[in-house]
């Protein structure tokens, strides 16, 4: 009953002095609002960044391409190696460090669909490409191993190219002409998240076309492979996979190092680490700003509670003279302090939610309200209310009844 009465009294104080209460709680309101908005935005940015890295499809990926041997002896014996070939992709079938490989051919060609003609990037890919880069179809299906082995005249359009060629019409099952070769559209790629990780290769893929590498080789020549991709079974083992790939390639090419291996996955891991540090620093900065606002709100609650106690000295003296204990007086004013803080936090949370909903349209995937933001803001506000109310409540509890009545 005492708790209910204390809450009622504190709410009456808020209603009885609206302007004073507003200036008292403005710090708590702004602090909780800032925490909700900032944590929601940071969560949205974090999700967007990681999705962008995911769409890059380069975690644990090795890229192998042709190069001229640096050693004079190797250059003299270069005829003993046939260079990087499609057959090299099958040398890792028994590997415990490399899970998938794929030849990749890249060129540009003219594509025609109905009356629309475009010059686009063409990607000849093997069945392992979708596994290596995590590619999937937003419509239909992606190119698989069976398409490559059977030299199927099929293709998958990039998300942007599909819009350019067919607009709002159905694309799956339609025929396109690519460099004089008729192909059936079996799928459309997904839209990549390029808001926070904007990569030229991703942009090119959205406006390009994927075809089976066997079809690509028929169209552009047997030695048309641009490079080979391989994926480590675990991104953390990409360096071991790189060492194995180097040894396998060197052995297969008669000791001639005419294959360059780029450990793209290792570079991506470094960039991820930098992003983690950057996001963590942002959180620290924004937490500090919001925390300062809440501390200012705590000072306001402290001040108004001191004023409230000075205005209610007679009430305190009367209650103590008829038997109220120090603990009861202390609890009453501490509950009032927390209640004031909770009122400010509630207003701040509501404003924060409204702002997050208002700006969510700026994020392609939307911006959900951060549950962590709501929890942290509420908990911090209650803690500030407790901290701000301790000393005034203790002062009120220690008052002598006679002195309080005289005041």
SS3 sequence, the chain?
A: CHHHHHHHHHHHHHHHCHHHHHHHHHHHHHHHHHHHHHHHHHHHHHHHHHHHHHHHCCCCEEEEEECCCCCHHHHHCHHHCCCCCHHHHHHHCCCCCEEEEEEEEEEEEEEEECCEEEEEEEEEECCCHHHHHCCCEEEECCCCHHHHHCCCCEEEECHHHHHHHHCCCCCCCCEEEECCEEEEEEEEECCCCCCCCCCHHHHHHHCCEEEEHHHHHHHHCCCCCCEEEEEECCHHHHHHHHHHHHHHHHHHCCCCCCEEEEEHHHHHHHHHHHHHHHHHHHHHHHHHHHHHHHHHHHHHHHHHHHHHHHHCHHHHHHHHHCCCCHHHHHHHHHHHHHHHHHHHHHHHHHHHHHHHHHHHHHCCCCCCCCHHHHHHHHHHHHHHHHHHHHHHHHHHHCCCHHHHHHC
pLDDT at position 225: 86
Q: How far apart are CA 336 and CA 10, in angstroms?
A: 5
Are residue 250 and residue 276 in the same domain, yes or no? no
pTM of this prediction?
Answer: 0.73
- Per the DSSP assignment, residues forming a β-bridge with 275 are none
Q: How confident is the model at residue 404 (pLDDT cuts 50, 70, 90)?
A: low
- Per the DSSP assignment, residues forming a β-bridge with 119 are 110
pLDDT at position 209: 95
Least confident of 74-83, 91-100, 344-353, 374-383: 74-83
- pLDDT tens digit string along 139-189? 999 999 999 999 999 999 999 999 999 988 899 999 999 988 999 999 999
Question: Taking phi first (over 0 means left), then psi (-120 to 50 degrees means alpha), and beta for anything else, what does residue 298 get?
Answer: alpha
Q: How confident is the model at residue 350 (pLDDT cuts 50, 70, 90)?
A: very high
> pLDDT exceeding 90 applies to what percent of the chain?
27
pLDDT at 13 over 60: yes
Residue ending a domain, among 200, 231, 265, is 265
Q: How far apart are CA 29 and CA 379, in angstroms?
A: 13
Are residue 144 and residue 177 in the same domain, yes or no? yes
> pLDDT exceeding 70 applies to what percent of the chain?
89
pLDDT at 69 over 80: no
Are residue 18 and residue 81 in the same domain, yes or no? no
pLDDT at position 14: 62
Are residue 279 and residue 385 in the same domain, yes or no? yes
Are residue 157 and residue 236 in the same domain, yes or no? yes
- pLDDT tens digit string along 240-271? 999 999 898 888 887 777 788 899 888 888 88
Structure tokens at 182: 């008729």
Mean pLDDT of 270-298: 83
Provide the number of structural domains found in the chain: 2
Mean pLDDT of 289-303: 77
Are residue 49 and residue 133 in the same domain, yes or no? no
Are residue 68 and residue 118 in the same domain, yes or no? yes
Are residue 213 and residue 344 in the same domain, yes or no? no
pLDDT at position 1: 42
Mean pLDDT for the chain? 83
pLDDT at position 152: 94
Residue ending a domain, among 221, 243, 265, is 265
- pLDDT tens digit string along 100-150? 999 999 999 999 998 899 999 999 999 899 999 988 888 999 999 999 999
44-78 residues labelled b (16+ CB within 10 A) or e (exposed): bbbbbbbbbbebbbbbbbbbbeeeebeeeebeeee
Residue ending a domain, among 265, 289, 310, is 265
Mean pLDDT of 38-61: 83
Domain that holds residue 208: 61-265
Least confident of 121-135, 214-228, 281-295: 281-295
Rounded-to-10 torsion of CA 335, 340, 341, 346:
120
Are residue 144 and residue 257 in the same domain, yes or no? yes
Are residue 77 and residue 23 in the same domain, yes or no? no
pLDDT at position 331: 77
Are residue 172 and residue 72 in the same domain, yes or no? yes
For residues 42 and 286, the answer to whether their CB atoms sit within 8 Å is yes
For residues 136 and 159, the answer to whether their CB atoms sit within 8 Å is no
Alpha-carbon distance values, 141 to 12, 102, 130, 175, 186 (Å): 65, 18, 11, 16, 6
Are residue 260 and residue 324 in the same domain, yes or no? no
């Amino acid at each position: 009953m005492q708790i209910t009465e204390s809450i009622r009294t504190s709410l009456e104080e808020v209603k009885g002095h609206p302007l004073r209460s507003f200036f008292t709680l403005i710090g708590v309101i702004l602090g909780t609002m800032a925490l909700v908005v900032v944590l929601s935005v940071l969560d949205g940015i974090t999700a967007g960044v990681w999705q962008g890295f995911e769409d890059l499809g380069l975690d644990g990926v090795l890229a192998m391409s042709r190069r001229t041997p640096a050693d004079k002896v190797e250059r003299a014996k270069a005829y003993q190696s046939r260079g990087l070939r499609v057959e090299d992709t099958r040398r890792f079938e028994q590997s415990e460090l490399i899970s998938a490989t794929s030849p990749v051919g890249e060129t540009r060609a003219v594509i025609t669909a109905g009356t629309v003609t475009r010059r686009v990037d063409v990607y000849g890919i093997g069945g392992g490409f979708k596994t290596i880069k995590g590619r999937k179809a937003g419509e239909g299906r992606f190119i698989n191993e069976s398409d490559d082995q059977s030299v199927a005249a099929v293709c998958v359009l990039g998300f942007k190219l599909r819009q350019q060629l067919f607009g709002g019409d159905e694309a799956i099952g339609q025929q396109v002409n690519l460099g004089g070769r008729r192909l059936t559209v079996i799928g459309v790629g997904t839209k990549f998240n390029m808001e926070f990780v904007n990569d030229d290769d991703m942009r090119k893929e959205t406006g390009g076309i994927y075809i089976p590498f066997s079809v690509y080789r028929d169209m552009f020549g047997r030695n048309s492979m641009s490079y080979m991709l391989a994926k480590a079974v675990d991104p953390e083992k990409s360096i071991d996979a790189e060492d194995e790939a180097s040894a396998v390639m060197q052995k297969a090419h008669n000791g001639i190092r005419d294959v360059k291996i780029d450990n793209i996955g290792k570079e991506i891991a470094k960039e991820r680490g930098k992003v983690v540090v950057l996001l963590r620093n942002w959180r620290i900065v924004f937490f500090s700003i919001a925390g300062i606002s809440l501390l200012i709100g705590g000072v306001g609650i402290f001040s108004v509670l001191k004023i409230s106690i000075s205005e209610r000295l007679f009430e305190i003296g009367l209650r103590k003279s008829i038997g109220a204990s120090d603990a009861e007086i202390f609890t009453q004013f501490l509950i009032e302090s927390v209640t004031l803080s909770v009122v400010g936090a509630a207003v701040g949370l509501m404003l924060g939610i409204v702002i997050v909903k208002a700006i969510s349209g700026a994020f392609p995937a939307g911006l959900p309200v951060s549950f962590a933001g709501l929890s942290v803001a509420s908990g911090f506000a209650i803690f500030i209310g407790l901290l701000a109310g301790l000393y005034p409540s203790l002062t009120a509890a220690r008052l002598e009844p006679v002195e309080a009545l005289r005041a």
